[in-house]
Amino acid sequence: MSAVSGGYFESGGRRAATYATLPLLGTHFSRGLREKLKETESSISRSVSNGADVPANLAQAVAGLRLRVALAAGERLMGIFESVMDRPNFRYGVVRHESVGVLAGKLDVARWVMRRWEVRVPTIYPTLRVQRTSRTPENLLACYALMWITSEVEQAFMASRAPLNTREGKAAHGLLERLDSMLRVPDIVENKFEVVHRGSEEWASAILDDVERRLAAGHVGNREPYQKLADWVRRTLSGKPTLQEGDERWLFYDETFDTTLFELWCLMSIADQVSKHLGQSRQVPNMRHTGRLPTYQWSHNSVDVSIHFQYDLINTAVGEGAAWQRNGKALGGRPDLTAISKTKGAGEEAKSVVYIDPKLRKRNGIPTEEIYKMLGYFSNAGVGNSGVGAILFYTPHRSPKPVYDFYSDQGGRVLAVGVDPASPGENTAGLELLAEMILGCSVNDQTSVDQ
């Protein structure tokens, strides 16, 4: 048995895996504030709270990543906002007032003439006053951004179920307190009513366009902070993460989430390789899928291919269901990833299943324990020695990356593929072999690729 060390990423692998999986969260960063406020419970919050039709690990995994991205984006916005509030924009506008008993201000002649028949004691004079206001397009945008990220952090925090005494919980609580303090700044309070009642994605996009035009024309004071604010909102509305290369200092992250992060990185990496093999565009899955809906789907010639995250083994078991039982109840099981290929028009039985388990463990050789676990999946699913599966394990210390290929006389096959997010070029060979296995290509070629 090969030596095992650690269940965590090295710093380079963690950073690379995090940046690679950020696109999974794009759908969360493309909804307007009003849309978010209308959702009394987000899709993930509902699935976590009622426990129906969704693998809990998937919901919490996505919520955990979503929370970390929201915290990172919120921290960045706070830095921008503090610079904005050093010299907030304002303008002067004419405001209507009523002056009782004495004319205090410029008389509003039009209103005065309209009232000439009215008798009031004491006399009330309609006046016009020039008054400073913070209701500028730039401050509307700042208020929108603060309210949006507050809602995002709150929703992600509730969905992630992070306890208050954890690093995530403390960070979320601290950030929400600071955001609440910023939302009480008078220059922001003056804009809240309009944002709450009109702050849809379309409205925010129009305000952003106006701000960018004003910035380009040089009509905005304190230009640099407001430009950074506009850039932050532009990336948010486009569904892109607000983190860029070199921004890892903003990324709130710790090793407790490494196992799930590795699973999601493997999910994306395998799906990208399948898309490439089929000559199709890269897919960005909607991670709010629930129940039995696949995370990825492809259709090619007469075959439909899908990949599920945390899919119950009983959904793919043959015959009467799970082979192993206790007190009349089936022994459960849930491979991290399940790839299913179906031939169109050939009926439900014309399908192949590949079970895939990412394991964040550093090994010096063959991951024997994980392979035997995969054989156990085969046994319980009723496919025995004809089962097909793969193990992906973390190998930052080995180059080239090892690929072990095991097979049985009954057509069964198990791949063990070493990978490292920090070395994308070295992962290609093993991931290509796995993609071919999922698509049913050249599976009878048993040439050894062990390294």
Alpha-carbon span 174 to 172, nearest angstrom: 5
State the Cα–Cα distance between residues 64 and 55, nearest whole angstrom. 14
In angstroms, rounded to a whole number, what is the distance separating the alpha carbons of residues 268 and 247? 22
How much is the mean pLDDT over the chain? Answer: 79
The better pLDDT of the pair 20, 252 is held by 20
The better pLDDT of the pair 223, 236 is held by 223
Contact by Cβ (8 Å): 28, 242: no
Of 19, 71, 9, nearest to 246 (Cα)? Answer: 19
Centre a 10 Å sphere on the Cβ of residue 127 and count the other Cβ atoms it contains.
18
Q: Are 396 and 418 within 8 A, CB to CB? A: no
Token pair belonging to 240? 């892109």
The amino acid at 32: G
Q: Which residues contact 112 (CB under 8 A, 6 or more apart)?
A: 125, 126
The amino acid sitting at 112 is W
- Backbone φ and ψ of 286, nearest 5°: -85, 105
Higher pLDDT, 451 or 210: 210
- The number of C-alpha atoms within 13 Å of 128 and in the hemisphere containing its C-beta is 10
Is residue 84 within 8 Å of 226, Cβ to Cβ?
Answer: yes
> Going by C-beta distance under 8 Å and a sequence separation of 6 or more, which residues neighbour residue 113?
none
Q: CA–CA separation, 277 vs 339, rounded Å?
A: 15
Region 216-245: mean pLDDT is 78
Q: Kindly tell me if the per-residue pLDDT of 434 is higher than 50.
A: yes
Beta pairing partners, 309:
337
What gap in Å lies between CA 313 and CA 306, rounded to an integer? 15
Handedness of CA 178, 183, 185, 188 (dihedral sign): positive
pLDDT > 70 fraction of the chain, expressed in percent and rounded: 76
HEC-encoded secondary structure of the chain: CCCEECCCCCHHHHHHHHHHHHHHHHHHHCCCHHHHHHCCCCHHHHHHHHCCCCCHHHHHHHHHHHHHHHHHHHHHHHHHHHHHHHCCCCEEEEEEEEEECCCCCEECHHHHHHCCCCCCCCCEEEEEEEEEECCCHHHHHHHHHHHHHHHHHHHHHHHHCCCCCCHHHHHHHHHHHHHHHHCCCHHHHHHHHHHHHHCCHHHHHHHHHHHHHHHHCCCCCCHHHHHHHHHHHHHHHCCCCCCCCCCHHHCCCCHHHHHHHHHHHHHHHHHHHHHHHHCCCCCCCCCCCCCCCCCEEEEECCEEEEEEECCCHHHCCCCCCCCCEECCEECCCCCCEEEEEEECCCCCCCEEEEEEEEEEEEECCCCHHHHHHHHHHHHHHCCHHHCEEEEEEECCCCCCCCEEEEECCCCCEEEEEEECCCCHHHHHHHHHHHHHHHCCCCCCCCCCCCC
Where is pLDDT greater, at 55 or 128?
Answer: 128
Distance CA 376, CA 227 (A): 57
Residue 1: per-residue pLDDT: 47
pTM: 0.61
Measured torsion, CA atoms of residues 35, 176, 19, 430, in degrees rounded to the nearest 10:
-90
- Residue of 22 and 11 predicted with greater confidence: 11
Stretch 301-330: mean pLDDT: 85
The pLDDT of residue 48: 34
Q: 373-427: per-residue pLDDT in tens?
A: 999 999 989 999 999 999 999 999 899 999 999 999 999 999 999 999 999 999 9
What's the pLDDT tens digit per position in 286-298?
A: 655 545 688 899 9
Contact 47, 290 (CB under 8 A): yes
pLDDT tens sequence across 36-78? 555 533 333 333 333 334 444 456 666 777 787 788 888 889 9
Q: Can you tell me the mean pLDDT for 142-153?
A: 92
- Cβ-in-10-Å burial (0-12, 13-18, 19+) of 204 comes to buried
Buried/exposed 326-342: b ≥16 CB within 10 Å, e otherwise: eeeebeebbbbbbbbbb
Among 17-26, 140-149, 275-284, the least confident range: 17-26
Q: Is the backbone peptide bond immediately before 122 cis, with ω within 30 degrees of 0? A: yes
